[in-house]
Structures are given as structure tokens and as C-alpha cells.
Amino acid sequence: MSKKYFRYVNTLFVVIPMTLIMAFVGLMRNYGFGPDWEIKFLKAWSVMLPVAYVAAFIIIPNARKLAEKVTTKE
């Protein structure tokens, strides 16, 4: 794969499991495992995934800069 797309694929591989876990925990805490839990899970995850994917491209560079500031000696 081209290095050109590495950042996008890497971010996707981080966001998918994180949003799956968050949707599962949110569903479990708010609704439990009722008869239609699968549909609720898929609805929650289908909203979370694109939002988290876009947010990751905004947050990650800023977090990296902040971490560099905090950890470097002046």
C-alpha cells in the first residue's frame, strides 16, 4: 500500500475498535440486552464511526503538539 494512504487506514483501524467498544458499553449501560439490542447497537455505531473518524484528524495533530510541549525541557 502506498504511504499516501497509510495515515487514513491507520486512523480507521484505531477508530473502528474504539467506537465498537464505546457503542457496546453505551448500549449495555443505557438499554441492556433487550430484544432489539442489535439494531440499537448498529444505529449507535453507524453514527459514532464517521464522527470519531473525522474528529481523530482534528484531535491527533493537536494532541501530538501538546504532548511535545509538555514533555520537552525548556
Read off the pLDDT of residues 11-37 as tens digits, 9 standing for 90 and up: 999 999 999 999 999 999 988 888 999
Span 34-52, mean pLDDT?
93
Whether residue 74 has pLDDT greater than 70 = no
Identify the pLDDT of residue 3: 85
pTM for this model (two decimals):
0.78
Given this model, what pLDDT does residue 2 score?
77
Report the domain count for the chain. Answer: 1
Domain that holds residue 21: 3-71
Local confidence band at 1 (pLDDT 50, 70, 90 cut-offs): low
DSSP 21-71: HHHHHHHHHHT-S-TTHHHHHHHHHHHHHHHHHHHHHHHHHHHHHHHHHHH
